Chain A
């Protein structure tokens, strides 16, 4: 669509700019401020330059948390995106089933995150939870609060349970925008199911998949509440992800300087990945249009 150049449009954007600026820029300045000072109390503070950044970058526990975070985000994306596409393809296209499926699928998305943690905390316990009980009675030893591997699996399954629906709903929206004529044409040409998927459905889902991947990447990279409730980061540190490490540092130990320095690095990582992804996909989209 051709847009008119009109700088008066800034007046329409101004309220958004102000409200987001107040809740983004001021806190961000505070964080930057902390990251370069050593603060004992409100009156006594020293400028320490980049010392906190050095300390944070050399912190091996932080490296471990980052590695865990990357593995975690990678694995949930690898499960949720294909699964989401697959489920979206099985959804009915019309009839009463559509509304019913929408409501059921969206249900996990609207549960407060700590309740999600609570649900799985209960469900996974062998003494009072159905999931843990069934696994136990199959003869598999399973205890998410003792065994790191079990804790990992539980956290990943919980996230798949919680967020795959988002991918499904987005993909379904993409699929619905395909006119019936496309399918009829494909049928006349004798296209296989795979060809229909690869050349009709997948391209139509591209733009919504970008949104899906971006949202899932960002949200899983800053996941805090669910693992906090479920495992508390344990056993040991085996499910401590970045946000949890950060909160522990800032609120638990009150190491404001390093925590602020870490916040900035953390934010920059997310920003960088999203920007690269956004740019690559947008350029690919433009090339396809030409």
Chain B
């Protein structure tokens, strides 16, 4: 009996999570007249027109491409710089290590609103405004510290004897790191990449401030639906659904790593 109750609670919670998303999806396959007309749980005449609008208009779909480019650049940069640093934090004591670690974390705490204007001026002055790399670098501000934090947790779980044995066997540090150590923390890297993806994908404030046309993220493009003729709810909903899809795909690929990975991390 107790088992049943537990599962009901979980089920209720998951329905609570999915209902608003379902409603968005429901709206995205309705026509605007039906959205504004009657309250229907299922669309009377499902239509894919809203999606067609988005996928055929470059002004719309380039937003998705831009977002994916800067997120990908950000994940690569974050992982490349965070891996050696996390190794250093998990294996060595060095002058100022604790202060440095806390300082890194403080950047995760900095409200993006604080950095809005300085970032704009900084990237404008080096002619990086409205490029993918500018957004990717700006997102490093919170993703690199997070990546270091997560990876350090994973690396601390790997016994140090492995390092020592490898060095005795004559491995150089770079070779040990790439051929032995990185495969050992594969799942940690997967989880870290997931988190970097997540925080870069969902962030809008900085991404919108640092871009205008060339690298405009999809999330900013969505404001276009407010036109003179009122809100185009159907297209807005379809654009929203399409921003959820990449996230859902990424979770699906790392789902086992998440379950396994979370447990191996800092617990």
Contact = CB atoms under 8 A, between A and B. Distances in A.
Interface of A: 1, 3-10, 12-13, 15-17, 19-20, 22-24, 26-28, 30-31, 34, 86-87, 89-91, 98-99, 101-115, 118-120, 122-123, 127-131, 133, 161, 165, 169-170, 172-174, 176-177, 204, 207-208, 211, 218, 221-222, 224-225, 242-244, 246-247, 250-251, 256, 259, 263, 266-267, 270-271, 274-275, 278
A113 B20 contact: no
Query: Which among B27, B113, B115, B252 has the greatest number of chain A C-beta atoms within 10 A?
Result: B113
Contacts of A99: 255-256, 259
Given A3-B91, A101-B10, A118-B236, A224 B20 contact: no
7 contacts: A3-B92, A24-B110, A28-B118, A31-B117, A103-B255, A110-B251, A123-B20
Contacts of B252: 103
Interface residues of B, number: 93
Contacts of B16: 161
Q: What is the predominant secondary structure among interface residues of chain A facing chain B?
A: helix
Contacts of A91: 10
A261 B94 CA distance: 35
B72 interface: no
B248 to A, nearest CB: 6
Contacts of A176: 259, 262-263, 267
A270 B251 contact: no
Contacts of A1: 156, 160
Contacts, number: 268
B91 A128 contact: no
A82 to B, nearest CB: 13
Contacts of A113: 202-204, 219
A89 B82 CA distance: 33
Q: What is the predominant secondary structure among interface residues of chain B facing chain A?
A: helix
A222 B112 contact: yes
A270 B111 contact: yes
Contacts of B102: 275, 278
Contacts of A165: 17
Given A98-B259, A115-B219, A263-B114, A24 B93 contact: no
A22 B80 CA distance: 17
A267 B248 contact: no
Given A113-B204, A177-B267, 13 more contacts: A1-B160, A20-B144, A24-B141, A107-B247, A110-B250, A112-B219, A123-B20, A173-B263, A207-B267, A222-B111, A267-B110, A271-B106, A278-B102
Interface of B: 6-7, 9-10, 13-14, 16-21, 23-24, 27, 35-36, 39, 41, 77, 80-82, 84-85, 87-89, 91-95, 97, 100, 102, 104-119, 121-122, 137-138, 140-141, 144-145, 148, 156, 160, 198, 201-205, 218-219, 222, 233, 236-237, 240, 243-244, 246-248, 250-252, 255-256, 258-259, 262-263, 265-267
B259 A16 contact: no
B198 to A, nearest CB: 6
A177 B264 CA distance: 8
